[in-house]
Amino acid sequence: MKMKQNFRGLTLLKRSQQPYPTSPAEARLEVFPNPQPRRDYTIRFDCPEFTAMCPVTGQPDFGKIVIEYVPHKSCIESKSLKLHLFSYRSRGAFAETIVNEVLDAVVQACRPRRATVTGDFAARGGIAIRVTASHPAR
């Protein structure tokens, strides 16, 4: 059975080789039509190997990013999300900035009904950091 879908906007998924974006501003999140726009359901992305760079020391920060959202008209394509998150490896940013920027990118890309981004960052100096941001703000 052949299904007709509108996937013309997905350009990253088709490529076998992909240059990695060097910053979140350069990366773009691609979307596809929500197959069930009348129903509330949750999509969850777990990114257990997130890496960023401390903006002060230049040392790597390791963590886990979890993105949960209820789509409205469109859904985020996972390869574009992977490339977006990968772009933080070469950009210095604090955990609070990263989580809020990722949430902003998700909201801008797919205009979800609801979204939450949580970053669990590994301990440095004996303190682990968890940051959670939600849309709409609670």
The catalytic residues are: 54, 61
- Written as six digits, the tokens of 127 are 């303190």
The closest alpha carbon to 78, from 42, 46, 56, belongs to 46
